[in-house]
Amino acid sequence: MKIAFLFYEGMTALDAVGPHEILSRLPEASVFRVARRAGPIQTDSQLILTADYSLTDVTSADIVLVPGAGNATTLSDHPETLEWLQSIHATTTWTTSVCTGSLILGAAGILSNLKATTHWAAFDRLKLWKAVPTKARVVEDGKVITAAGVSAGIDMALMLSSKIAGENFAKTMQLGIEYDPKPPFDVGSPEKADPVIREELRSRMVANFIKAPYELSN
């Protein structure tokens, strides 16, 4: 079970680390944290993760996961990343994303005519890549699974674990990370949020998305 996490400068750490905590414990998992160049990767909260492998080191995977980014990224300056995604996708059993990672899958041409989701503030952008924007926390279409914003990656990874290793494994994982969430507020989706807070946040985030070069390349 070969699992590749794509890392890149400016990514959101939690998008990857939530699922990583779960998927890395799948039976016989070999995890490859992959970036354009192996080495330190600064995330959008300044936390530095490490990519153990360069793109050219990893040519196939059973699962690939692409995290999103809150800030502009430099992905499209690096078409080899999108080419790598296209070629790894041809080998996967599951191709997955968290948050705006789906926009990167889109830029790689992977979401064409597929149902998909992304961070709520970027929802409409999915159409740029001919995806069918679908409102759900986790969206599955064929072998492509996309999760909504940031924390949705945890739900996605548990769901995927259940498919791969069975319900009991996934339940053990959920209990292991004591995932019995009690958010202090009931405002975690755009429908539930105060419209003022939502629109202020949306305009701030959309400004970042627009700057994201992987969209300019469309």
> Catalytic amino acids?
99
Answer positive or negative: Cα dihedral of 48, 180, 199, 149: positive
Among 35, 88, 158, 164, binds a second copy (CB under 8 A): 158
Determine, following the binding rule CB under 8 A, whether residue 14 of this chain makes contact with a second copy. yes
- Going by DSSP bridges, is the β-strand pair 63-66/115-116 parallel, antiparallel, or unpaired? unpaired
Query: Phi and psi at residue 135, in whole multiples of 5°?
Result: -80, 100
Stretch that binds a second copy, among 53-61, 105-113, 124-132, 190-198 (CB under 8 A): 190-198
Residue 23: C-alpha distances to residues 50, 102, 165 (Å): 17, 18, 10
For a second copy, the binding residue among 46, 113, 142, 195 (CB under 8 A) is 46
State yes or no: residue 54 binds a second copy (CB under 8 A): no
Q: Look at residues 78, 83, 56, 107 and name the one whose alpha carbon lies nearest to residue 8.
A: 78
Binding of a second copy by 195 (CB under 8 A): no
Residues with Cβ within 8 Å of 42's Cβ and at least 6 positions away in sequence, in order, are 9, 10, 48
| Strands 48-51, 39-42: pairing kind | antiparallel
Is 170 near a second copy (CB under 8 A)? yes
| Nearest CB to a second copy, comparing residues 113 and 195 | 195
* Per-residue mark of binding to a second copy, 106-145 (x: CB under 8 A): -------------xx----------------xx-------
Is 199 an interacting residue with respect to a second copy (CB under 8 A)? no
Q: Distance between CA 218 and CA 84 in Å, rounded?
A: 17
Give the residues lining the site for a second copy (CB under 8 A): 12-14, 17-18, 20-21, 24-25, 31, 33, 40, 45-50, 52, 70, 99, 119-120, 137-138, 148-152, 154-155, 158-159, 162, 167-168, 170-172, 174-185, 187-190, 192-194, 197-198, 200-201, 205
